[in-house]
Copies of this chain bind each other. A is one copy, B any other.
Amino acid sequence: MDVELPEINLKAIGAVRNEIKEPTHQDSSEVISEIVIDSGLTKALDDLDKFSHIIVLYWIHRSRRPAPMKVHPRGDPERALMGVFATRSPSRPNPIGKATVKLLERQGNILKVRGLDAIDGTPVLDIKPYIPGYDSVDDCRAPSWMVKK
């Protein structure tokens, strides 16, 4: 290809603390986590509690490297291989996870959230407010077995 693909350096802004110590395929929608943000960035969290939900971008530090081109979705060998970009597999060329979670509480530099699909110690890259209409799509299509009820 004729476009330049730069290398990019970033620094975690915080880390996840929870009871999940090893990678798992289990549903994490009820898991409670704390996101401990670098205390030098505490002021940048102001006003976040105006939102009920936030988007967390995190570094999947335990992902398999190098990433495969195709994976069995959800690690289930009975499902046909799919291109990794068509899945949410943690093993991807840049293993960045994206979760939309409920913000239960903010205390200083600590965010308490529900539903974060990340294990204890996961480095956090960014926090964004979840904005309905910008982050959600009303009329969309996806394989029915992937849709979360």
- A residues neighboring B (CB under 8 Å): 1, 3-15, 17, 36-39, 41, 43-48, 50-53, 55, 57, 59, 61, 67, 69-70, 82-88, 92-94, 96, 98, 100, 109, 121, 123, 125-137, 139-143, 146-149
Contacts and interface: CB of A to CB of B under 8 A. Distances in A.
A36 B5 CA distance: 11
B141 A51 contact: yes
A52 B123 contact: no
A138 to B, nearest CB: 9
B123 A8 contact: yes
Given A44-B69, A53-B140, A127 B9 contact: no
Given A46-B82, A131-B147, A132-B140, 5 more contacts: A10-B96, A43-B70, A44-B67, A88-B129, A88-B131
A1 B109 CA distance: 9
